[in-house]
């Protein structure tokens, strides 16, 4: 279903309810040309911030000792 931007602005909250409850989508137009699409969000699975990379890297060797390289900050 298409809706003009001005009408969308007027009925925004009601249209969002329709999208949520009825899994409908709307194409928002400006001067008759499509500019945006309002669609229902897929079920979002929250990913934890900490530990999301667990199992994606391997530690090879000593990660604490210096490599012997001279850094500018060491001066």
Q: Which residue has the higher pLDDT, 73 or 6?
A: 6
pLDDT tens profile 4-52: 999 999 999 999 999 999 989 999 999 999 999 999 988 667 778 888 8
How is the chain split into domains, by residue range?
1-40
Domain spanning 1-40: CATH superfamily: YefM-like domain (3.40.1620.10)
pLDDT tier at 61 (50, 70, 90 boundaries)? confident
Query: What is the torsional sign of CA 25, 30, 32, 35?
Result: negative
Strand partners, 38: 26
Is residue 75 scored above 70 in pLDDT?
no
pLDDT value, residue 38: 95
CA–CA distances in Å: residue 69 to residues 65, 73, 74: 11, 11, 10
């Amino acid at each position: 279903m298409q809706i003009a931007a001005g009408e969308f602005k007027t009925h925004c909250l009601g249209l969002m309810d329709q999208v949520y409850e009825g899994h409908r989508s709307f194409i928002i137009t400006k001067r008759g040309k499509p500019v945006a699409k309002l669609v229902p969000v897929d079920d979002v699975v929250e990913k934890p911030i900490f530990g999301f990379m667990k199992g994606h890297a391997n530690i090879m060797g000593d990660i604490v000792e210096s490599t012997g390289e001279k850094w500018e900050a060491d001066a």
